[in-house]
Structure 1
Amino acid sequence: MLLRIHHAAIICSDYQRSKRFYTEVLGLKTVAEHFREARNSWKLDLGLPDGSQVELFSFSGAPPRPSYPEAQGLRHLAFAVADVADFQQRLESMGVTTEGIRVDEFTGQRFVFFADPDGLPLELYEAAA
């Protein structure tokens, strides 16, 4: 039986830029950071309050992944937040462009899309009260 999602792994093009985005802009906490010399690669484990993690990797020469129009594969990574509008305002105050807030037609919850520094589609989804 599956219990929950443990982590999502992201390969970035600029490790320092993405590290700053995920820690300073999104506020994820560093769990561990390792440089893997044999691969000339960084691995950063970032934690969320529920124990789930985002793993951030750097690999030189990694090809870009198509995102738009809708490409096959993982569509986006969504983070639950208490208030979408508040977090959207935080993102925009830090120079992150977001789409307009929408409402999930099935749950009635608000959500908004934005992108990480490499164009990976991310979503904020308002947790049910």
Structure 2
Amino acid sequence: MFNRIHHTAIICSNYELSKEFYVNTLGLKVVAEVFREERKSWKLDLAVNDLYQIELFSFENPPERPSRPEACGLRHLAFEVDDVEKVAQVLNERGVVTEPIRIDEFTGKQFTFFADPDGLPLEIYGR
């Protein structure tokens, strides 16, 4: 019935700050960017490894939502990487604070968490 997840939508509180983070800090590729005048809203389509996957939105005065990893609802967004230690080091060099690297007790894979400018939990997970 389902083929794959098409995209994840993220609403940010500061569009320019979040755009800078996702494009320049994380290195995601801009697919398209539009301003929707009737909504006073930016929409930025981003690609992860050349596959369109993330929509970044701005809205005037969006309500806050709990976003700790254990809050009810979407827990986090995870990016698969080849080398967790190397990617964490690059993120740290770019000013992103990552948690200590852990090992998934079921898969044996490395992973760690960090946050976007709005505190949305993001994860890097070893291949």
| 1:76 corresponding residue in structure 2 | 76
SS of corresponding position for 1:30: strand
| 1:95-127, Cα deviation, whole Å (9 max, x unpaired) | 111100000111100000000000000000011
| 1:7-43, Cα deviation, whole Å (9 max, x unpaired) | 0000000000000100111111000000000010000
**Distance in 2 separating the partners of 1:89 and 1:31:** 27
Q: TM-score, normalised by structure 2?
A: 0.96
| 1:40 corresponding residue in structure 2 | 40
SS of corresponding position for 1:80: strand
Structure 1's unaligned 5+ residue stretches are none
Matching of residue 111 in structure 1 with residue 115 in structure 2: no
| 1:24 corresponding residue in structure 2 | 24
1:47 and 1:103, CA in 2 relative to 1: closer, same or farther beyond 3 A? same
Alignment of 1:50-129 (within 5 A): 51-68=51-68, 70-127=70-127
| 1:56-80, Cα deviation, whole Å (9 max, x unpaired) | 0000110111123721100000000
**Distance in 2 separating the partners of 1:64 and 1:84:** 30
**Distance in 2 separating the partners of 1:111 and 1:69:** 14
Q: TM-score, normalised by structure 1?
A: 0.95
Percent identity over paired residues: 65
**Distance in 2 separating the partners of 1:21 and 1:68:** 19
**Distance in 1 separating the partners of 2:64 and 2:120:** 10
**Distance in 2 separating the partners of 1:80 and 1:58:** 26
**Distance in 1 separating the partners of 2:123 and 2:17:** 19
Aligned length: 127
| 1:9 corresponding residue in structure 2 | 9
Contact 1:5 1:52 in 2 (8 A): no
